[in-house]
Structure 1
């Protein structure tokens, strides 16, 4: 318990990479923060940071310590939540990372529903796609990550795995909008607004086209799904997303599943760092999310036109 305060300081320095920036965030002087770290290193018996010209970086011992720190802080938050529950108060904080596809309705709906039951629980949501989302877990920047087709990492525990069809997204006036389902070859006859290589959707698309003699017309490419959706409203173009990533209230947009003979459904994974104890509020949120979405029993969003 006596080290909790200095643990928070160490975690903050590791996150920001700078004594000065961390001191500003923690509202103490850089000299006082430096002294805290030096005193801890002396007691710990070894340095935990590399002092670099441009800041601070955890060394090997520091990285081992960081895992312990995150477990200790999570256990303490769990204890505080349990003590608060004894008096009938549900509090806590849930730290999430997610792919862009889940920012329009999926997570806002789930968070709002959770907070309707537990209004004193707060949330932080970092939008990180694919490999960057995995890094938030590995670097202890988030407790949970909801990602499209994340890279397979042995340090992660998959709490829920779903498969969603990839969809072609176009304007309601597009010629393919009249079909209930589309073939990939038909999509490729039109200009494509392509997700870039930072997004899992692009890797799935490239895999589906590998070895095919297809000449693509790609006028725009972006790592922003919001931009790509906006672009197809201004051109006779098609982009690609999962259905839950598209605002269902926008009547200008049409979403059509791509035939699974052309592209296999994409994996949607809710995961945490393997072996990590989650704060009580986070554990509750993950359990409720899995209950709502397990076995594909979540009703699909309707899409007009």
Structure 2
């Protein structure tokens, strides 16, 4: 068509080529057609009538199509003009719907959170802050995965999870620590165990003489215990090795032996009087931290950012450690 500058497919893919379907021009056209005159459109848009008329003329020139018929007392859309007006109305509605959905996300009316956690955090996480957060924002969906220390770090660093809860995390330049708290590893015994009445910290060599259950080597608690063994030249020979803190808790409750865990991991058992956490003498076991992590540089969605603040303020693991 003579005078047409409709874009070729290659031009439409080229970000340096400006599309003739400019938002402002389309709005001028739409309002002129909707209101029936250029003057009415100009008054509605608070611009000069010549601006509206000129921009519609530019749009017609760029497209090589007549978009409005200029009548004595107004304008009337051509078939092409009506098509563009309808499309502009649809585009505007779609955009406003998208913005409304984004506003819903901002208001936590919908959205999804991915959390990955060491098992020791789960009881406090589900029974406490996560449940209360969910009650306030019932339309949110969540995924909570339980994993080893290494898997928590990897999952957060690779953006598969918004938030991670990890114990004894090694340094990783990909991660940001949102909160941390010193949470020493304790000797966990049943209330009737002879050591339960001992006031002094327990040396690691005393644990080596007891039937002990420990986590697998990929877990943070086992990794720091191994370091303490090497430092003191003490070898623990576990009668039970597992990937489950629940199994260790039940093992100790049954009277079969003892284990080494941070106190927050058995907080509910301590409150019920079913387990006792005793301080250890080893400085390495005293220096371990619980960490709340995100990927460094990641801008969390609003729901995840708000949950992060809740977890910092309410999880027992990020408050003063105690036995």
User: Above 0.5 in TM-score?
Assistant: yes
Find the aligned partners of 1:236 and 1:189 in 2 and give their Cα distance.
14
8 Å CA contact 1:161, 1:269 repeated in 2: yes
Residues 66-93 of structure 1: per-residue CA shift (max 9 Å, x gap)? xxxxxxxxxxxx976651278x663322
8 Å CA contact 1:137, 1:273 repeated in 2: yes
Matching of residues 99-138 of structure 1 within 5 Å: 99-138=118-157
Out of 185, 196, 214, the residue aligned to residue 166 of structure 1 is 185
> 1:233 is matched with which residue?
253
> 1:10 is matched with which residue?
none
Find the aligned partners of 1:280 and 1:79 in 2 and give their Cα distance.
15
Cα RMSD between the aligned structures? 2.9
The answer to whether 1:203 aligns with 2:223 is yes
Q: What is the deviation of 1:271? A: 1.0
TM-score for the superposition, normalised by structure 2: 0.61
Find the aligned partners of 1:231 and 1:92 in 2 and give their Cα distance.
40
Find the aligned partners of 1:165 and 1:152 in 2 and give their Cα distance.
18
Q: What is the deviation of 1:285? A: 0.6
Gaps of 5+ in 1: 1-42, 44-77
TM-score for the superposition, normalised by structure 1: 0.65
Specify whether residues 276 and 155 from structure 1 end up closer, same or farther in structure 2 by C-alpha distance, changes over 3 A only.
Answer: same
Residues 51-108 of structure 1: per-residue CA shift (max 9 Å, x gap)? xxxxxxxxxxxxxxxxxxxxxxxxxxx976651278x663322210000100112343
Gaps of 5+ in 2: 1-12, 14-97
Out of 297, 307, 323, the residue aligned to residue 275 of structure 1 is 297
8 Å CA contact 1:190, 1:217 repeated in 2: no
8 Å CA contact 1:180, 1:257 repeated in 2: no
Task: Compare the two structures and name the one with the higher helix fraction.
Answer: 2
Larger radius of gyration: 2
8 Å CA contact 1:130, 1:150 repeated in 2: yes
The number of residues matched between the two structures is: 224
8 Å CA contact 1:162, 1:267 repeated in 2: yes
